[in-house]
Structure 1
């Protein structure tokens, strides 16, 4: 028996990450909607452990320069990564620096807070897609995570969880690898107990 799938769900099921991203970017109102989508993530204890900083326009280059000029970015190892940092911080028209703010709580262990922050990011990816944009969530490997943490004045309890780049795909339709079918990663469990 086939079930009719609402259009919004069909749109969500078509979401794919895309890179590189360029203008047009979400408008100010669309960006607010994307950011608001984070608020509907599951949030045990109401901690809102997601903390993001949005970088757009000329501020992307300014952030990159502050990162590259930081004292901790002057080693040979980090200098070799400057080009990679430039791609991550300036290629897309909108860059959201992502952190999970971990708060000790008796009912919400650290792993739940990390999962909640990840769910908030996924909600933003889905919202951007529904609005007609693409997103790319990438990691901030050491030492970029520490550099961003310092340069952008994140709080001590904030743990960097990546960058969310938003914009329009430069090469639309490039990512066409087939999706896994749900039976490959989920099973319908049935009790083996005798009736």
Structure 2
């Protein structure tokens, strides 16, 4: 039941955040800027980061049920809540702009990386875990689950930071650029924390 409550609480937060940010943009809080084009960096970032965030949320829910360690569970909870919230904002903007949430172009085309973004075994963008890795995470327990989660999420954050920096450089909607800047700062802080947690477990990030 606690798992259900966690999901429900996260969903409520997403709706509130997405609604607030949508109305802020709709009311002209972003200097009256017009909706971006479907092939713009703003739209591309919103679409791709929403997908990227969804996997981080899934990984965090998985490890939450595979360990009893308070520190890792707290980190997983924070990542799941933050990224579910941000995902709601990104999808809310696409709705506001009346743009599709799925593009025929490869992921990260807006960054000029469409020809090398998609990997194998379900890894759609740099840093994303493969289908095999996601399945493996669900089979581990305790310290092994903690280490593998921290390694996967370290890779995930590095890929996310690269994308967010791309939006800071290329996006034109001010509120979205500010969200991307916040992602860079918060995920870098979490990278430092995860490095410490790995070190405590005698492990290191993957190369």
- TM-score w.r.t. length of structure 1: 0.31
Higher helix share: 2
Indicate the structure whose relative CO is greater, using CA pairs within 8 Å and at least 6 residues apart: 1
Rg larger in 1 or in 2?
1
Higher strand share: 1
- TM-score w.r.t. length of structure 2: 0.29
